């Protein structure tokens, strides 16, 4: 049977929730000896499906303190589980211990649901929203005491629980995924070959439906990167009929599959509409972006000036992206790609803890309050980063924010935290 583990600090309402789930079957529960002294497996059933509920309650705090005890406990349960419910007290918010457990859960590679417990009324929903900061997806409000939401929570759990108990497969950190994109003839295959040739390491290649490798792992410096859909680059579609259509289809698909779009431009040619479309596509898909000007060996001083003007005119909206000049043909400066990719992946993955974000927003508003509009001055009550990859923020406010003020917030966020190479999304929720 699949195993659903319930983890969380003491007093978050874990056992109340467990009892809710087990309902009348609780009587049976008492007869089931736990596999260990401090962890108990209960046979459970919901919506006609049987599973094992693994409760981590009943442990004692050792000499090494609360944090370690909770983390160790959670870690042990996670090893045995197929999915995890992480119970957090929405009233208290995410504590340091919660954050520590959350980080472990992020790494474990198993499905996790955050149950925001003790949500007894709708006025607490901003508290729930703040739990996005755990980085485990949407927090699920429940009131274990009143039983509200626990049925929905269980429905959700069953969805993520595999049919049969699965053997746990340890997953290490995955290499960053790169889509090497650009219009035909900018030098994509030349660059791919240069990178492969330079390092002389193709770690492995995943076979696709054709005999070309679809994705290839390329060592750049010390870091492996997964280049997605390299078959599309190698196959040279632009030399056949209907090429434009297939090339743009390939571009969209590669961007969808990647973390970072490495947009290759032919620096010897004027920036084209197609170049711009590819950049916009990557921004809209929320990917990290690195702009690579290829064929620099053909660029003279006049062209350099022109290029600078083109950038200012056409690519100002991605001013945050790293830009590097290379020559795939001579491999000049291709060694700069490593750093640009690393910085971009870091920026794309950045998470700002909620406490720090709100301190920052407080200072920002004190120094630069929103302009008064129609006698009113919107204030930000609370902000939280609901997503990374790319970073997405939600601000709870007393009124709509001017687009200019949003841009100002974005600019200040970038000054403060970097966010190299990544789009930032800012959502606003007006509270009545």
Of 176, 182, 232, 288, which one interacts with ligand GDP (CB under 6 A)? 182
Core vs surface per residue 415-430: b (16+ CB within 10 A) or e = eebebbbbbbebebee
CB of 322 closer than 8 Å to CB of 344? yes
Measured between alpha carbons, how far is 3 from 16 in angstroms, rounded to an integer? 19
Closest distance between ligand GDP and the C-beta of residue 326, in Å?
Answer: 7
- Interface positions, 36-55, toward ligand GDP (CB under 6 A): none
Of 9, 188, 226, 370, which one interacts with ligand GDP (CB under 6 A)? 188
236 marked as binding residue: no
Measured between alpha carbons, how far is 9 from 89 in angstroms, rounded to an integer? 9
User: What is the number of the residue whose Cβ is closest to ligand GDP?
Assistant: 187
- Interface positions, 280-339, toward ligand GDP (CB under 6 A): 294-295, 297-298, 327-329
Closest distance between ligand GDP and the C-beta of residue 304, in Å?
Answer: 15
**Stated length of the chain:** 432
Tell me which residue of 86, 142, 131 sits closest to 110, measured CA to CA: 86
Beta-sheet strand order (sheet of 392-397) = 380-387, 392-397, 425-430
Measured between alpha carbons, how far is 63 from 70 in angstroms, rounded to an integer? 13
Determine if residue 350 is left, alpha or beta; phi over 0 gives left, psi from -120 to 50 gives alpha, anything else beta: beta
For ligand GDP, give the closer residue by CB, 67 or 338: 338
CB of 205 closer than 8 Å to CB of 213? yes
Q: How far is CA 364 from the centre of its chain?
A: 26
11 marked as binding residue: yes
Tell me which residue of 111, 123, 194 sits closest to 156, measured CA to CA: 111
187 marked as binding residue: yes
User: CB under 6 A: which stretch of 78-86, 183-191, 305-313, 316-324 binds ligand GDP?
Assistant: 183-191
346 marked as binding residue: no
- Token reading at 415: 């000054």
Closest distance between ligand GDP and the C-beta of residue 185, in Å?
Answer: 4
For ligand GDP, give the closer residue by CB, 174 or 185: 185
Measured between alpha carbons, how far is 395 from 382 in angstroms, rounded to an integer? 6
Number of chain positions touching ligand GDP (CB under 6 A): 17
Of 15, 16, 73, 190, which one interacts with ligand GDP (CB under 6 A)? 190
CB of 86 closer than 8 Å to CB of 99? no
For ligand GDP, give the closer residue by CB, 185 or 280: 185
Closest distance between ligand GDP and the C-beta of residue 269, in Å?
Answer: 10
User: CB under 6 A: which stretch of 46-54, 93-101, 178-186, 370-378 binds ligand GDP?
Assistant: 178-186
Of 187, 286, 378, 423, which one interacts with ligand GDP (CB under 6 A)? 187
Q: Compute CA distances 378 → 307, 356, 364, 375, 396, whole Å.
A: 41, 21, 13, 10, 10
- 50 burial via Cβ count (<10 Å: 0-12, 13-18, 19+): exposed
185 marked as binding residue: yes
CB of 350 closer than 8 Å to CB of 419? yes
230 marked as binding residue: yes
Cβ within 8 Å of residue 239, ≥6 positions away:
none
Q: Beta strand pairing status for 40-46 and 3-7?
A: unpaired
CB of 264 closer than 8 Å to CB of 191? yes
147 marked as binding residue: no
For ligand GDP, give the closer residue by CB, 189 or 252: 189
For ligand GDP, give the closer residue by CB, 231 or 357: 231
The residues that bridge with 328 in the sheet, in sequence order, are: none
For ligand GDP, give the closer residue by CB, 185 or 363: 185
For ligand GDP, give the closer residue by CB, 70 or 233: 233
Residue 250 found at the interface with ligand GDP (CB under 6 A): no
For ligand GDP, give the closer residue by CB, 38 or 297: 297
User: CB under 6 A: which stretch of 95-103, 117-125, 149-157, 181-189 binds ligand GDP?
Assistant: 181-189
- 189 burial via Cβ count (<10 Å: 0-12, 13-18, 19+): middle
Closest distance between ligand GDP and the C-beta of residue 228, in Å?
Answer: 15
- Interface positions, 206-235, toward ligand GDP (CB under 6 A): 233
For ligand GDP, give the closer residue by CB, 88 or 299: 299
- Known binding residues are 8-15, 55-59, 117-120, 182-189, 229-233, 294-297
Binding site for ligand GDP (CB under 6 A): 182, 184-190, 233, 238, 294-295, 297-298, 327-329
- Known binding residues for GTP are 8-15, 55-59, 117-120, 182-189, 229-233, 294-297
């Amino acid at each position: 049977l699949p195993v659903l583990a319930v983890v969380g600090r003491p007093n978050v309402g874990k056992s109340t929730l467990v009892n809710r789930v087990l309902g009348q079957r609780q009587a049976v529960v008492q007869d089931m000896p736990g596999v260990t002294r401090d962890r108990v497996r209960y046979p459970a059933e919901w919506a006609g499906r049987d599973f094992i509920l693994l409760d981590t309650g009943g442990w004692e705090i050792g000499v090494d303190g609360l944090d370690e005890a909770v983390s160790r406990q959670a870690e042990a349960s996670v090893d045995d589980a197929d999915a995890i419910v992480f119970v957090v007290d929405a009233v208290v918010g995410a504590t340091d211990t919660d954050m520590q457990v959350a980080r472990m859960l992020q790494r474990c590679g198993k499905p996790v649901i955050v149950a925001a417990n003790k949500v007894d009324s709708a006025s607490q929903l901003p508290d729930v929203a703040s739990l996005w900061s755990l980085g485990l997806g949407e927090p699920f409000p429940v009131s274990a005491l009143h039983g509200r939401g626990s049925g929905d929570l269980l429905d959700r759990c069953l969805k993520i629980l595999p049919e049969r108990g699965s053997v746990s497969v340890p997953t290490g950190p995955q290499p960053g995924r790169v889509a090497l994109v650009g219009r035909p003839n900018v030098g994509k295959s030349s660059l791919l070959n240069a990178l492969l040739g330079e390092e002389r390491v193709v770690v492995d290649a995943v076979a696709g439906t054709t005999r070309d490798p679809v994705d290839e792992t390329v060592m750049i410096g010390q870091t492996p990167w997964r280049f997605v859909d390299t078959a599309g680059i190698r196959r040279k579609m632009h030399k056949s009929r209907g090429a434009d259509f297939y090339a743009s289809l390939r571009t969209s698909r590669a961007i969808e599959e990647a973390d970072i779009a490495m947009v290759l431009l032919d620096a010897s040619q004027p920036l084209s509409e197609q170049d711009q479309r590819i950049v916009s596509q990557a921004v809209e898909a929320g990917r990290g972006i690195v702009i690579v000007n290829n064929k620099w060996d053909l660029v003279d001083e006049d062209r350099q000036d022109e290029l600078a003007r083109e950038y200012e005119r056409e690519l100002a909206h991605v001013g945050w992206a790293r830009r590097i000049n290379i020559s795939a043909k001579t491999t000049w400066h291709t060694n700069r790609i490593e750093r640009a990719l690393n910085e971009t992946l870091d920026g794309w993955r950045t998470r700002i803890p909620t406490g720090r974000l709100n301190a920052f927003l407080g200072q920002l508003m004190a120094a630069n309050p929103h302009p008064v509009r129609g006698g009113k001055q919107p204030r930000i009550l609370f902000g939280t980063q609901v997503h990374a990859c790319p970073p997405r923020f939600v601000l709870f406010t007393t009124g709509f924010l001017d687009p200019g003020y949003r841009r100002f917030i974005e600019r200040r966020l970038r000054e403060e935290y970097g966010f190299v190479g990544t789009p930032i999304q800012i959502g606003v929720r007006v509270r009545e």
